[in-house]
Protein backbone atom coordinates (compact mmCIF):
# COMPACT_ATOMS: atom_id res chain seq x y z
CA UNK A 1 0.00 0.00 0.00
CA UNK A 2 1.48 3.33 -1.02
CA UNK A 3 -0.21 6.56 -1.97
CA UNK A 4 0.65 10.25 -2.06
CA UNK A 5 -2.24 12.42 -0.92
CA UNK A 6 -0.35 15.51 0.15
CA UNK A 7 -0.52 17.69 -2.95
CA UNK A 8 -1.14 20.61 -0.61
CA UNK A 9 2.55 20.36 0.24
CA UNK A 10 3.82 19.81 -3.26
CA UNK A 11 2.84 18.22 -6.55
CA UNK A 12 5.02 15.67 -8.30
CA UNK A 13 6.69 17.57 -11.14
CA UNK A 14 5.88 16.31 -14.63
CA UNK A 15 8.66 15.29 -17.00
CA UNK A 16 8.11 18.46 -19.02
CA UNK A 17 8.49 20.65 -15.94
CA UNK A 18 11.56 18.77 -14.76
CA UNK A 19 13.13 19.03 -18.21
CA UNK A 20 12.45 22.77 -18.36
CA UNK A 21 14.19 23.17 -15.02
CA UNK A 22 17.11 20.87 -15.81
CA UNK A 23 18.00 22.71 -19.00
CA UNK A 24 18.86 25.87 -17.10
CA UNK A 25 20.78 24.18 -14.32
CA UNK A 26 23.35 23.30 -16.99
CA UNK A 27 23.56 26.74 -18.56
CA UNK A 28 26.36 29.17 -17.80
CA UNK A 29 25.59 32.85 -18.17
CA UNK A 30 23.57 35.42 -16.27
CA UNK A 31 20.47 36.73 -18.06
CA UNK A 32 21.53 40.25 -17.02
CA UNK A 33 24.88 40.12 -18.83
CA UNK A 34 25.71 41.55 -22.24
CA UNK A 35 27.36 38.55 -23.88
CA UNK A 36 25.88 35.86 -26.07
CA UNK A 37 25.46 33.36 -23.24
CA UNK A 38 23.09 35.82 -21.57
CA UNK A 39 20.64 35.92 -24.42
CA UNK A 40 19.08 32.47 -24.03
CA UNK A 41 18.27 32.76 -20.31
CA UNK A 42 17.09 36.34 -20.82
CA UNK A 43 14.74 35.13 -23.54
CA UNK A 44 13.60 32.27 -21.31
CA UNK A 45 12.64 34.71 -18.60
CA UNK A 46 10.67 36.87 -21.02
CA UNK A 47 8.93 33.78 -22.43
CA UNK A 48 8.12 32.76 -18.87
CA UNK A 49 6.64 36.18 -18.24
CA UNK A 50 4.26 35.61 -21.15
CA UNK A 51 3.15 32.23 -19.81
CA UNK A 52 2.52 33.39 -16.26
CA UNK A 53 0.83 36.64 -17.32
CA UNK A 54 -1.57 34.58 -19.43
CA UNK A 55 -3.07 33.19 -16.22
CA UNK A 56 -4.73 36.59 -15.76
CA UNK A 57 -4.66 37.90 -19.30
CA UNK A 58 -2.55 40.85 -18.17
CA UNK A 59 0.50 42.08 -20.09
CA UNK A 60 3.82 40.30 -19.46
CA UNK A 61 5.14 43.43 -17.79
CA UNK A 62 2.75 42.69 -14.92
CA UNK A 63 4.86 39.77 -13.72
CA UNK A 64 7.44 39.97 -10.94
CA UNK A 65 9.04 36.58 -10.33
CA UNK A 66 9.61 35.61 -6.71
CA UNK A 67 10.89 32.64 -4.73
CA UNK A 68 7.43 31.23 -4.05
CA UNK A 69 4.08 32.57 -2.94
CA UNK A 70 5.21 33.60 0.53
CA UNK A 71 7.64 36.14 -0.88
CA UNK A 72 4.95 37.33 -3.29
CA UNK A 73 2.58 37.90 -0.35
CA UNK A 74 5.24 39.88 1.48
CA UNK A 75 5.78 42.07 -1.57
CA UNK A 76 2.05 42.41 -2.19
CA UNK A 77 1.42 43.82 1.27
CA UNK A 78 4.60 45.70 2.15
CA UNK A 79 5.33 46.92 -1.38
CA UNK A 80 2.31 49.24 -1.76
CA UNK A 81 2.64 50.47 1.82
CA UNK A 82 6.25 51.41 1.15
CA UNK A 83 5.45 53.21 -2.08
CA UNK A 84 2.65 55.14 -0.37
CA UNK A 85 4.89 55.93 2.63
CA UNK A 86 2.32 54.61 5.08
CA UNK A 87 3.66 54.76 8.64
CA UNK A 88 0.38 53.68 10.25
CA UNK A 89 -1.13 51.32 7.70
CA UNK A 90 -4.55 49.73 7.86
CA UNK A 91 -4.74 46.21 6.45
CA UNK A 92 -7.90 44.15 6.09
CA UNK A 93 -8.05 40.37 5.64
CA UNK A 94 -9.80 37.45 7.30
CA UNK A 95 -8.58 34.92 9.85
CA UNK A 96 -8.47 32.16 7.24
CA UNK A 97 -5.84 33.99 5.20
CA UNK A 98 -2.55 32.16 4.72
CA UNK A 99 -0.38 32.24 7.83
CA UNK A 100 2.24 34.29 5.99
CA UNK A 101 -0.38 36.89 5.02
CA UNK A 102 -1.34 37.31 8.65
CA UNK A 103 2.30 37.39 9.74
CA UNK A 104 3.18 40.12 7.23
CA UNK A 105 0.11 42.12 8.16
CA UNK A 106 0.94 41.88 11.85
CA UNK A 107 4.52 42.88 11.18
CA UNK A 108 3.47 45.87 9.07
CA UNK A 109 1.11 47.10 11.78
CA UNK A 110 3.27 46.19 14.77
CA UNK A 111 4.08 49.75 15.80
CA UNK A 112 1.21 51.71 14.29
CA UNK A 113 -1.87 51.15 12.21
CA UNK A 114 -4.32 48.28 12.43
CA UNK A 115 -5.04 44.79 11.15
CA UNK A 116 -8.75 44.19 10.67
CA UNK A 117 -10.04 40.63 10.32
CA UNK A 118 -13.49 39.89 8.97
CA UNK A 119 -15.57 37.15 10.54
CA UNK A 120 -16.06 33.86 8.71
CA UNK A 121 -18.90 31.37 8.66
CA UNK A 122 -18.81 27.63 9.26
CA UNK A 123 -17.88 26.98 5.62
CA UNK A 124 -14.94 29.38 5.62
CA UNK A 125 -16.60 32.24 3.75
CA UNK A 126 -16.13 35.78 5.03
CA UNK A 127 -19.31 37.77 5.39
CA UNK A 128 -19.36 40.23 2.45
CA UNK A 129 -20.84 42.97 4.60
CA UNK A 130 -18.11 42.49 7.16
CA UNK A 131 -15.43 42.58 4.46
CA UNK A 132 -16.65 45.84 2.97
CA UNK A 133 -17.13 47.45 6.38
CA UNK A 134 -13.58 46.60 7.42
CA UNK A 135 -12.15 47.55 4.04
CA UNK A 136 -13.40 51.13 4.27
CA UNK A 137 -10.36 53.30 4.88
CA UNK A 138 -7.91 50.41 4.53
CA UNK A 139 -4.68 50.77 2.58
CA UNK A 140 -4.42 47.10 1.60
CA UNK A 141 -7.14 44.44 1.51
CA UNK A 142 -6.20 40.78 1.05
CA UNK A 143 -8.67 38.28 -0.37
CA UNK A 144 -7.64 34.67 0.00
CA UNK A 145 -9.18 33.01 -3.04
CA UNK A 146 -8.78 29.38 -2.02
CA UNK A 147 -8.39 28.46 1.64
CA UNK A 148 -5.63 25.89 1.96
CA UNK A 149 -6.81 24.09 5.08
CA UNK A 150 -10.54 23.64 4.51
CA UNK A 151 -10.67 24.18 0.76
CA UNK A 152 -13.15 27.03 0.64
CA UNK A 153 -13.22 28.90 -2.68
CA UNK A 154 -14.30 32.47 -2.14
CA UNK A 155 -16.31 34.50 -4.65
CA UNK A 156 -13.36 36.79 -5.23
CA UNK A 157 -14.86 38.80 -8.08
CA UNK A 158 -17.87 39.70 -5.96
CA UNK A 159 -15.72 40.59 -2.95
CA UNK A 160 -13.36 42.72 -5.07
CA UNK A 161 -16.28 44.64 -6.56
CA UNK A 162 -17.74 45.35 -3.13
CA UNK A 163 -14.39 46.40 -1.72
CA UNK A 164 -13.79 48.67 -4.72
CA UNK A 165 -17.04 50.49 -3.91
CA UNK A 166 -16.37 50.71 -0.18
CA UNK A 167 -12.67 51.51 -0.38
CA UNK A 168 -11.74 53.00 -3.76
CA UNK A 169 -8.27 53.93 -2.52
CA UNK A 170 -7.35 50.48 -1.22
CA UNK A 171 -4.90 48.19 -2.98
CA UNK A 172 -6.66 44.84 -3.35
CA UNK A 173 -4.54 41.69 -3.21
CA UNK A 174 -5.88 38.39 -4.52
CA UNK A 175 -4.02 35.45 -3.02
CA UNK A 176 -4.36 32.83 -5.75
CA UNK A 177 -1.71 30.41 -4.60
CA UNK A 178 -4.26 27.63 -4.16
CA UNK A 179 -6.33 28.41 -7.25
CA UNK A 180 -3.97 29.38 -10.08
CA UNK A 181 -4.26 26.74 -12.76
CA UNK A 182 -7.42 25.30 -11.24
CA UNK A 183 -9.81 28.26 -11.25
CA UNK A 184 -9.88 30.95 -13.98
CA UNK A 185 -8.24 34.21 -12.89
CA UNK A 186 -9.23 36.38 -15.84
CA UNK A 187 -8.23 40.00 -15.34
CA UNK A 188 -7.08 39.10 -11.86
CA UNK A 189 -10.78 38.92 -10.95
CA UNK A 190 -10.60 42.70 -10.61
CA UNK A 191 -7.80 42.82 -8.04
CA UNK A 192 -4.70 45.01 -8.21
CA UNK A 193 -2.14 42.39 -7.25
CA UNK A 194 -2.32 38.62 -7.71
CA UNK A 195 -0.16 36.17 -5.75
CA UNK A 196 0.82 33.08 -7.71
CA UNK A 197 2.64 29.99 -6.46
CA UNK A 198 4.01 27.12 -8.46
CA UNK A 199 2.35 24.30 -6.57
CA UNK A 200 -1.26 24.45 -7.79
CA UNK A 201 0.03 24.78 -11.34
CA UNK A 202 2.07 21.59 -11.07
CA UNK A 203 5.30 23.56 -10.80
CA UNK A 204 7.86 23.92 -8.06
CA UNK A 205 6.49 25.38 -4.84
CA UNK A 206 9.65 27.46 -4.52
CA UNK A 207 8.76 29.43 -7.63
CA UNK A 208 6.13 32.13 -7.61
CA UNK A 209 5.15 35.49 -8.93
CA UNK A 210 3.34 38.66 -8.07
CA UNK A 211 1.22 40.04 -10.89
CA UNK A 212 0.80 43.80 -10.75
CA UNK A 213 -1.96 45.74 -12.44
CA UNK A 214 -0.61 48.78 -14.37
CA UNK A 215 -0.60 51.91 -12.26
CA UNK A 216 -0.05 50.11 -8.94
CA UNK A 217 3.20 51.22 -7.35
CA UNK A 218 5.41 49.05 -5.16
CA UNK A 219 8.61 49.41 -3.27
CA UNK A 220 10.83 46.34 -3.51
CA UNK A 221 11.51 44.12 -0.52
CA UNK A 222 14.84 42.96 -1.93
CA UNK A 223 16.72 46.05 -2.92
CA UNK A 224 19.78 46.84 -4.91
CA UNK A 225 19.26 45.27 -8.31
CA UNK A 226 17.62 46.10 -11.61
CA UNK A 227 16.13 42.62 -11.95
CA UNK A 228 12.35 42.46 -12.28
CA UNK A 229 12.08 46.16 -12.98
CA UNK A 230 13.95 46.97 -9.80
CA UNK A 231 11.12 45.48 -7.74
CA UNK A 232 12.95 42.27 -6.85
CA UNK A 233 16.70 42.59 -6.83
CA UNK A 234 19.10 39.68 -6.97
CA UNK A 235 19.94 37.05 -9.57
CA UNK A 236 17.07 35.29 -11.31
CA UNK A 237 16.44 31.65 -10.47
CA UNK A 238 16.18 30.76 -14.14
CA UNK A 239 15.53 27.01 -13.62
CA UNK A 240 12.65 27.72 -11.25
CA UNK A 241 11.21 30.43 -13.48
CA UNK A 242 11.39 28.20 -16.55
CA UNK A 243 9.74 25.37 -14.63
CA UNK A 244 6.99 27.68 -13.42
CA UNK A 245 6.40 28.82 -16.98
CA UNK A 246 6.17 25.27 -18.29
CA UNK A 247 3.75 24.39 -15.51
CA UNK A 248 1.58 27.40 -16.37
CA UNK A 249 1.69 26.50 -20.08
CA UNK A 250 0.54 22.96 -19.34
CA UNK A 251 -2.03 23.96 -16.72
CA UNK A 252 -4.12 26.39 -18.77
CA UNK A 253 -5.45 23.98 -21.41
CA UNK A 254 -5.62 21.10 -18.90
CA UNK A 255 -7.64 22.99 -16.29
CA UNK A 256 -11.02 21.43 -17.01
CA UNK A 257 -9.73 17.85 -17.15
CA UNK A 258 -7.55 18.27 -14.07
CA UNK A 259 -10.39 19.69 -12.02
CA UNK A 260 -12.77 16.96 -13.11
CA UNK A 261 -10.29 14.24 -12.18
CA UNK A 262 -9.36 15.80 -8.86
CA UNK A 263 -12.99 16.30 -7.88
CA UNK A 264 -13.84 12.70 -8.79
CA UNK A 265 -11.06 11.42 -6.55
CA UNK A 266 -12.10 13.80 -3.79
CA UNK A 267 -15.63 12.41 -3.92
CA UNK A 268 -14.29 8.87 -3.64
CA UNK A 269 -12.06 9.88 -0.74
CA UNK A 270 -14.77 11.77 1.11
CA UNK A 271 -17.27 8.95 0.76
CA UNK A 272 -14.79 6.42 2.07
CA UNK A 273 -13.45 8.53 4.93
CA UNK A 274 -16.91 9.54 6.10
CA UNK A 275 -17.89 5.87 6.36
CA UNK A 276 -15.62 5.68 9.40
CA UNK A 277 -17.91 6.30 12.40
CA UNK A 278 -17.45 9.65 14.11
CA UNK A 279 -15.91 11.32 11.05
CA UNK A 280 -17.07 14.67 9.66
CA UNK A 281 -16.12 16.75 6.62
CA UNK A 282 -14.75 20.20 7.47
CA UNK A 283 -15.50 23.02 5.04
CA UNK A 284 -17.74 23.10 1.98
CA UNK A 285 -19.05 20.12 -0.01
CA UNK A 286 -16.57 18.50 -2.38
CA UNK A 287 -17.92 20.19 -5.52
CA UNK A 288 -17.64 23.64 -3.94
CA UNK A 289 -14.13 23.39 -2.55
CA UNK A 290 -10.63 23.32 -3.99
CA UNK A 291 -10.32 20.41 -6.43
CA UNK A 292 -8.91 17.27 -4.87
CA UNK A 293 -9.21 18.69 -1.36
CA UNK A 294 -10.74 16.77 1.56
CA UNK A 295 -10.35 17.61 5.22
CA UNK A 296 -12.00 15.50 7.90
CA UNK A 297 -12.08 15.38 11.68
CA UNK A 298 -12.53 12.18 13.61
CA UNK A 299 -13.61 11.73 17.18
CA UNK A 300 -11.17 10.32 19.71
CA UNK A 301 -7.86 10.87 17.90
CA UNK A 302 -5.52 13.72 16.98
CA UNK A 303 -4.78 14.69 13.41
CA UNK A 304 -1.07 14.43 13.95
CA UNK A 305 -1.35 10.87 15.27
CA UNK A 306 -3.56 9.85 12.34
CA UNK A 307 -1.15 11.37 9.81
CA UNK A 308 1.78 9.54 11.38
CA UNK A 309 -0.14 6.27 11.60
CA UNK A 310 -1.14 6.57 7.94
CA UNK A 311 2.48 7.29 7.02
CA UNK A 312 3.51 3.97 8.60
CA UNK A 313 0.97 2.36 6.27
CA UNK A 314 2.54 4.04 3.26
CA UNK A 315 0.05 6.85 2.77
CA UNK A 316 1.21 10.47 2.81
CA UNK A 317 -1.28 13.00 4.20
CA UNK A 318 -1.07 16.10 6.41
CA UNK A 319 -2.42 16.95 9.81
CA UNK A 320 -5.22 19.45 9.34
CA UNK A 321 -3.22 22.54 10.13
CA UNK A 322 0.20 23.06 8.66
CA UNK A 323 0.84 26.21 10.68
CA UNK A 324 -0.15 24.73 14.02
CA UNK A 325 1.66 21.46 13.33
CA UNK A 326 4.23 20.79 16.02
CA UNK A 327 3.02 23.65 18.18
CA UNK A 328 0.61 21.54 20.20
CA UNK A 329 -2.20 23.87 19.23
CA UNK A 330 -5.55 23.34 17.62
CA UNK A 331 -5.90 24.80 14.15
CA UNK A 332 -6.70 28.53 14.42
CA UNK A 333 -8.49 28.27 11.08
CA UNK A 334 -10.89 25.62 12.35
CA UNK A 335 -11.38 27.49 15.60
CA UNK A 336 -12.25 30.65 13.64
CA UNK A 337 -14.85 28.60 11.76
CA UNK A 338 -16.43 27.63 15.03
CA UNK A 339 -15.26 24.02 15.35
CA UNK A 340 -14.79 22.73 18.87
CA UNK A 341 -11.36 21.93 20.22
CA UNK A 342 -11.64 18.15 19.67
CA UNK A 343 -12.67 18.55 16.04
CA UNK A 344 -10.00 21.18 15.44
CA UNK A 345 -7.27 18.96 16.88
CA UNK A 346 -8.33 15.82 15.03
CA UNK A 347 -8.35 17.26 11.52
CA UNK A 348 -6.55 15.42 8.72
CA UNK A 349 -6.03 16.84 5.24
CA UNK A 350 -5.92 14.67 2.13
CA UNK A 351 -5.19 16.37 -1.17
CA UNK A 352 -5.26 14.64 -4.53
CA UNK A 353 -3.68 15.75 -7.78
CA UNK A 354 -4.56 15.07 -11.40
CA UNK A 355 -2.42 11.92 -11.32
CA UNK A 356 -4.05 10.44 -8.23
CA UNK A 357 -5.73 7.12 -9.01
CA UNK A 358 -8.78 5.45 -7.56
CA UNK A 359 -6.41 2.85 -6.12
CA UNK A 360 -4.53 5.63 -4.33
CA UNK A 361 -7.79 6.87 -2.85
CA UNK A 362 -8.77 3.37 -1.77
CA UNK A 363 -5.38 2.85 -0.12
CA UNK A 364 -5.81 6.11 1.76
CA UNK A 365 -9.30 5.18 2.91
CA UNK A 366 -8.12 1.79 4.16
CA UNK A 367 -5.13 3.33 5.93
CA UNK A 368 -7.31 5.98 7.52
CA UNK A 369 -9.83 3.45 8.81
CA UNK A 370 -7.10 1.17 10.18
CA UNK A 371 -5.19 4.07 11.77
CA UNK A 372 -8.25 5.51 13.47
CA UNK A 373 -9.27 2.08 14.76
CA UNK A 374 -5.79 1.39 16.12
CA UNK A 375 -5.51 4.78 17.80
CA UNK A 376 -8.95 4.52 19.36
CA UNK A 377 -8.08 1.07 20.67
CA UNK A 378 -5.01 2.52 22.40
CA UNK A 379 -6.91 5.40 23.96
CA UNK A 380 -7.45 5.11 27.73
CA UNK A 381 -10.88 4.42 29.04
CA UNK B 1 5.54 68.54 -21.62
CA UNK B 2 2.12 66.99 -21.34
CA UNK B 3 0.56 63.96 -22.98
CA UNK B 4 1.20 60.29 -22.47
CA UNK B 5 4.80 59.12 -22.60
CA UNK B 6 5.77 56.34 -24.96
CA UNK B 7 7.08 54.27 -22.07
CA UNK B 8 7.10 54.54 -18.28
CA UNK B 9 9.75 53.17 -15.95
CA UNK B 10 8.61 52.73 -12.35
CA UNK B 11 11.75 52.92 -10.23
CA UNK B 12 9.95 53.78 -7.00
CA UNK B 13 11.69 52.31 -4.01
CA UNK B 14 15.01 51.82 -5.74
CA UNK B 15 18.21 53.68 -5.05
CA UNK B 16 20.72 55.10 -7.47
CA UNK B 17 22.27 53.72 -9.58
CA UNK B 18 19.30 51.41 -10.14
CA UNK B 19 16.98 54.10 -11.61
CA UNK B 20 19.64 55.14 -14.12
CA UNK B 21 20.30 51.50 -15.00
CA UNK B 22 16.60 50.96 -15.57
CA UNK B 23 16.42 54.05 -17.77
CA UNK B 24 19.40 52.87 -19.78
CA UNK B 25 17.84 49.44 -20.35
CA UNK B 26 14.48 50.94 -21.30
CA UNK B 27 15.99 53.40 -23.76
CA UNK B 28 17.68 50.62 -25.68
CA UNK B 29 14.20 49.45 -26.66
CA UNK B 30 12.94 52.89 -27.73
CA UNK B 31 13.33 54.98 -30.87
CA UNK B 32 14.81 58.47 -31.25
CA UNK B 33 12.27 61.16 -30.45
CA UNK B 34 10.15 58.98 -28.18
CA UNK B 35 9.56 60.08 -24.61
CA UNK B 36 10.34 58.03 -21.53
CA UNK B 37 8.81 58.81 -18.17
CA UNK B 38 10.74 57.82 -15.04
CA UNK B 39 9.02 57.59 -11.66
CA UNK B 40 11.46 57.55 -8.75
CA UNK B 41 11.71 58.61 -5.16
CA UNK B 42 15.45 58.68 -4.60
CA UNK B 43 16.49 62.37 -4.68
CA UNK B 44 19.78 61.34 -6.26
CA UNK B 45 17.97 61.11 -9.59
CA UNK B 46 18.04 64.93 -9.69
CA UNK B 47 21.80 64.61 -10.15
CA UNK B 48 22.33 61.23 -11.73
CA UNK B 49 19.72 61.22 -14.46
CA UNK B 50 20.56 64.59 -16.07
CA UNK B 51 24.27 63.80 -15.91
CA UNK B 52 23.80 60.40 -17.51
CA UNK B 53 21.42 61.76 -20.17
CA UNK B 54 23.90 64.49 -21.04
CA UNK B 55 26.68 61.94 -21.53
CA UNK B 56 24.46 59.52 -23.46
CA UNK B 57 22.90 62.10 -25.74
CA UNK B 58 19.34 62.13 -24.42
CA UNK B 59 17.36 65.22 -23.47
CA UNK B 60 15.76 65.78 -20.08
CA UNK B 61 12.49 67.53 -20.83
CA UNK B 62 11.29 68.01 -17.28
CA UNK B 63 11.82 66.94 -13.71
CA UNK B 64 9.22 67.66 -11.08
CA UNK B 65 8.56 66.39 -7.60
CA UNK B 66 5.08 65.91 -6.24
CA UNK B 67 5.06 64.67 -2.67
CA UNK B 68 7.72 61.98 -2.73
CA UNK B 69 7.50 61.03 -6.39
CA UNK B 70 9.98 62.57 -8.80
CA UNK B 71 8.76 62.39 -12.39
CA UNK B 72 11.36 62.81 -15.10
CA UNK B 73 10.63 62.99 -18.81
CA UNK B 74 13.39 62.13 -21.22
CA UNK B 75 13.38 62.47 -24.99
CA UNK B 76 15.38 59.70 -26.62
CA UNK B 77 18.39 60.93 -28.57
CA UNK B 78 20.03 59.24 -31.52
Quote the percentage of chain A above a pLDDT of 70.
97
Which chain B residues have a beta carbon less than 8 Å from that of A228? none
A219 to B15: CB separation less than 8 angstroms, yes or no = no
Contact across the interface for A231 and B22, Cβ inside 8 Å: no
Can you give the pLDDT at residue A33? 85
pLDDT at A91 exceeding the cut of 70: yes
Residue A304 has pLDDT above 80, yes or no: yes
pLDDT for the residue numbered A146: 97
Cα–Cα distance for residue pair A75/A96, rounded to 1 Å:
19
Sign of the CA dihedral running A241, A251, A80, B49: positive
* Averaged pLDDT for residues A113-125: 95
- Cα atoms in the 13 Å half-sphere on the side-chain side of A60: 10
Position A328 confidence tier, pLDDT thresholds 50, 70, 90: low
Classify A307 as helix, strand or coil: helix
**For residue A225, what is the DSSP state?**
-
Alpha-carbon span A259 to A287, nearest angstrom: 10
Q: Quote the minimal CA–CA distance from B20 to chain A in Å.
A: 10
Ranges in chain B, pLDDT < 50 = none
pLDDT value at position A149?
A: 93
Q: Are A240 and A246 in contact (CB under 8 A)?
A: no
Chain A residues in contact with B29 by the CB 8 A cut-off are none
Name which residue leads in pLDDT, A260 or A341: A260
Per-domain residue ranges for chain B?
7-75
Per-residue model confidence as pLDDT tens digits over A354-367: 999 999 999 999 99
Mean pLDDT, all residues of chain A: 94
Q: Of A79, A217, A229, which has the smallest distance from its Cβ to B22's Cβ? A: A229
Q: What pLDDT does A50 receive? A: 97
Question: What is the pLDDT at residue A330?
Answer: 73
Contact A231 B68 (CB under 8 A): no
Q: What are the pLDDT digits (tens) for A139-172?
A: 999 999 999 999 999 999 999 999 999 999 999 9
Q: B25 contacts in A (CB within 8 Å)?
A: 226
What number is the average pLDDT over the span A2-27?
Answer: 95
The second-level CATH assignment, the architecture, of A15-250 is 3-Layer(aba) Sandwich (3.40)
Closest Cα in chain B, distance from residue A174 (Å): 22
CB A286 within 8 A of CB A270: yes
pLDDT at A329: 67
Q: What are phi and psi of A150, to 5 degrees?
A: -110, 0
Q: Any idea which architecture B7-75 has in CATH?
A: 2-Layer Sandwich (3.30)
Shortest Cα distance, chain B CAs vs residue A219, angstroms? 4
Contacts 24+ apart (CB under 8 A), A163-167: A163/A131, A163/A132, A163/A135, A164/A190, A165/A132, A166/A132, A166/A133, A166/A135, A166/A136, A167/A132, A167/A135, A167/A136, A167/A137, A167/A138, A167/A141
Specify the pLDDT at position A332: 83
CA-based angle A336:A337:A343, to the nearest 5?
A: 100
Q: Annotated catalytic residue: which of B12, B16, B39, B56?
A: B16
Test B10 with A82 for CB contact under 8 angstroms: no
**B16 labelled catalytic:** yes
CATH of A3-9+255-378, one of 3.30.1490.20, 1.10.260.40, 3.30.70.120, 3.90.1150.10: 3.90.1150.10
CA distances (Å), origin B17, targets A228, A229, B53, B71: 15, 13, 13, 16
A223·B19 Cβ contact <8 A: no
Identify which of A352, A353, A334 has the alpha carbon closest to the alpha carbon of residue A342.
A334
Residues A255, A101: Cα–Cα separation, whole Å: 26
pLDDT at A325 (0 to 100) = 56
Q: Is the pLDDT of residue A79 over 60?
A: yes
Per-residue three-class SS string for A188-217 = HHHCCEEEEECHHHCCCCCCEEEEECCCCC
- For residue A338, the Cα-to-chain-centroid distance in whole angstroms is 22
The answer to whether residues A265 and A292 touch, using CB atoms and an 8 Å cutoff, is: yes
Mapped onto helix, strand or coil, the DSSP state of residue A125 is coil
Beta carbons of A225 and B12 less than 8 Å apart: no
A245-291 pLDDT, tens digit per residue, is 999 999 999 999 999 999 999 999 999 999 999 999 999 999 999 99
* DSSP assignments along A140-180, one per residue: EEEEESB-TTT-BB--HHHHHHHHHHH-TTPEEEEE-TTTT
A238-274 and A358-378 helices, crossing angle to 10°:
60
Contacts of B12 in chain A (CB under 8 A): 83, 217-219
pLDDT tens per residue, range A183-232? 999 999 999 999 999 999 999 999 999 999 999 999 999 999 899 999 99
**What are the residue boundaries of the structural domains of chain A, listed by start?**
3-9+255-378, 15-250
Amino acid sequence: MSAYLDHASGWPLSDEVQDAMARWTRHVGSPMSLHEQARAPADAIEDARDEVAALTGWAPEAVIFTAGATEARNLAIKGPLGAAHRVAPVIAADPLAHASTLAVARSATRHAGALRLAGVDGQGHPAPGDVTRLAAGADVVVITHGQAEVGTIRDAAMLVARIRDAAPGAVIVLDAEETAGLVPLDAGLGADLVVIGGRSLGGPAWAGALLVRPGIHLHPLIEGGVEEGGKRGGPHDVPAIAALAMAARLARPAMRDRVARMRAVAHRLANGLLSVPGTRLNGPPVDERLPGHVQVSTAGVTGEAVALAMATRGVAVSPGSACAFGAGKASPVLEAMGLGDDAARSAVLLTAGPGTTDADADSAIAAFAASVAALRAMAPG
Amino acid sequence: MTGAPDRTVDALGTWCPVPVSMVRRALTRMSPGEVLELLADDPMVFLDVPAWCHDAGHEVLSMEQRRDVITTRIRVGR
